[in-house]
Amino acid sequence: MPDPLLYVAGQWRPGRAGTAAAVSPSTGETFAEVAVADRTDVDDAVTAAGAASAAWAGLSAFERAEWCEGVAAAITGRRADLAALLTLDQGKPLASEAYDEVDELVGYFRMAAADVRRMAGAAPASTSAERRVLVHRVPLGVVGVVSPWNWPYTMGAELFAPALAAGNPVVWVPAPSTTACCTLLAEVIAGQDPPPGVFNFLPGPGPVVGQALVGHPGVHGVGFIGSVATGASVAARAAGKTTLLELGGNGPMVVLEDADLDLAAQAALEAAYLCAGKSCTAGERFLVHAAIAGEFTERVVAATKAQVRLGDPFDPATTMGPLNNEATAAKFARHVASAVADGAVVCTGGRLADGFPTSLFAEPTILAGVTPGMEIAREETFGPVVPVIEVNSAAQALELTNGSPFGLTAAVFTADLERGLAFAERARAGWVNINASTNLWESHLPFGGRSGSVSGRGRVGGAFALESFTEPKTIVYPAPSLRG
C-alpha cells in the first residue's frame, strides 16, 4: 500500500493538512491512509512546476516522448498491483473492468508519445516576398489537472499525459475518494525520474486544493473532468486561462422502430451498467419508439437478469460492483423513487441492494413509463438504470435529445444508415454513435461537449488533447539571401 504522501518538486512529503482514511466502497473497511494537501502545498507545487517549465519545454519532443514510453512500460510492469488497488478503492470489478482501465492508461502514455513526435507546424505565406513565416506549437506552461473518481487512472491521464508530452509541467489533484489508487499511479510515474517539478501530485478536497490550483496565478492551463456544477466553479476560478472542461452528460440512446432489438438490448446493458452506470457517457435516457418499446424493455430485462452479476468486485463472476460513494448512491435512490412516485414502473431492480457489506450496491434497474419531465430523465443519475421513454417518431426523439441542456453523447439504433446519419448530424451532441452504445468511444478521437451545452468545452482525445495544451507561436523573419 502506498505511503500517505504528496509528491512535490521531485520529493515525497507529508501533506500539511494531515491524512484521511481510504475506505473501500465494497467492504466499508478503512484499508489505508492518504495524504491531504492544503493551499500552501499548492503554492509549493506550482512554484516548483514553474521553475521546471523552461527546461522541460526545452527538451525535444522525442526526448519527452521517450520518457512517456518509459512511464507506459512501468505501468505495464505494475499492472496487477494497479488493477487490484483500483478495485479496492473505486469498486469496479477486477476481471471485467479494472484491468481494462490499466491497459487503457498505458495507451494514453503511448499515444501521447506518438502524437507529440508527429506534432507539426506550418510555413504560411507572407504578404511580402521579403519575409518568411514559421508557425509552430509551444507549451502553455504550468497545467493544473483535476480528475474524477469514476475512472481514476484514465480520466487523469487523458489530460496529464498529453500535457506532459507537449512540454508542460503538471500539478495533479485526484478525486478524494480514489486517492489511494492514484497515489500508487503517482509512485509509478515518479519512479521514472521526471525532472523535479515536472510532475506533482496533490491529493486533497476539491473545494480547497482543486480550487486553489485552478485559480492560482502561476497556472497557465487547466484540465478538469467532473460534474457540471463543479465545472462551472472551475471555469469561474480559471477565468483568463486556457481551459479544457469535460463535464456531465445525460446521453439519450434512441431506438427506432426498425432497429435490431437484440443489438439494441445488448448495447443497453453496456450503456447503463458499465462502471455501474457511473459514466458521463452512460445511456441516461432510452428514447424508444412506442411500436417496439414493450419488446425492447422485455429483452433488456431478460438480458440484465441473465448477464449482470452484482457482487464482490474481486469475484471473477462479478460484472458490476458498488457505487463509489454515499452521495452517488443517494442520488440513484432518489431518482428512482421520484420516478416511481410520478408513475414510472419498476421492471426489475429499483433499489439499493440488501445483503452486502455496504449500502453502496445498487440493483441493475429498468423503468418503464418514464416521461421526459421526470427528474431521472432530466438529470445525470450516475447509476445503473435504464429509464425507458416512449416516443412516436424519430423527429420526437431528436426534439427530446436537443431539448436537454446536456450535449455530450447520444446514440441511435436503426436499420437505415441514412436515417441514422440524418439523426446524428442534427443531434446537439459532441459525439453520436449509430447502432452502438453511448459508452462506445475510442480514446484517440475528439471527445467533449457540444457548444452551447453544459457538458464542457474543448476536446480530449489523442492529438486533440495535445492541441489543447499547446498554442501556436508565429515567427516572422527576413527572407534569406545567398551570399558569396
Q: How many helices (H) and strands (E) does the chain have?
A: 15, 19
229/349 same-domain check: no
353/226 same-domain check: no
**Strands of the 6-8 sheet, one edge to the other:** 11-13, 6-8, 199-201, 170-173, 143-146, 221-225, 242-246, 456-457
Catalytic, out of 101, 246, 284, 467: 246
Domain-located, residue 450:
no
pTM, whole model, 2 decimals? 0.96
Residue 72 CB partners (closer than 8 Å, separation 6+): 106, 107, 109, 110, 113
Domain-located, residue 103:
yes
201/258 same-domain check: no
pLDDT of 403 over the 90 cut = yes
pLDDT of 310 over the 80 cut = yes
| pLDDT tens digit sequence for 6-15 | 999 999 999 9
| pLDDT tens digit sequence for 408-461 | 999 999 999 999 999 999 999 999 999 999 999 999 999 999 999 999 999 999
Domain-located, residue 447:
no
261/391 same-domain check: yes
pLDDT of 483 over the 80 cut = no
CATH of the domain at 170: 3.40.605.10
- Please give the grid coordinates belonging to residue 70: 518509459
Q: Say whether 32 sits in a helix, a strand or coil.
A: strand
117 within 8 A of 193, measured Cβ to Cβ: no
264/385 same-domain check: yes
- Please give the grid coordinates belonging to residue 375: 427528474
Domain-located, residue 482:
no
Domain-located, residue 444:
no
65/171 same-domain check: yes
Residue 280 annotated in active site = yes
224/90 same-domain check: yes
Task: Count structural domains, the chain.
Answer: 2
| pLDDT tens digit sequence for 462-478 | 899 999 999 999 999 99
What residue numbers bound the domain in which 257 lies? 251-434
135/221 same-domain check: yes
pLDDT score, position 484: 66
Average pLDDT over residues 397-416: 98
pLDDT score, position 482: 81
Domain-located, residue 41:
yes
DSSP-derived letter for residue 353 is: P
180/277 same-domain check: no
CATH of the domain at 411: 3.40.309.10
255/235 same-domain check: no
Look over the chain and give the mean of its residue pLDDT values, rounded to a whole number. 97
138/81 same-domain check: yes
Domain-located, residue 106:
yes
Domain-located, residue 317:
yes
Catalytic, out of 101, 280, 284, 347: 280
| pLDDT tens digit sequence for 26-71 | 999 999 999 999 999 999 999 999 999 999 999 999 999 999 999 9
90/104 same-domain check: yes
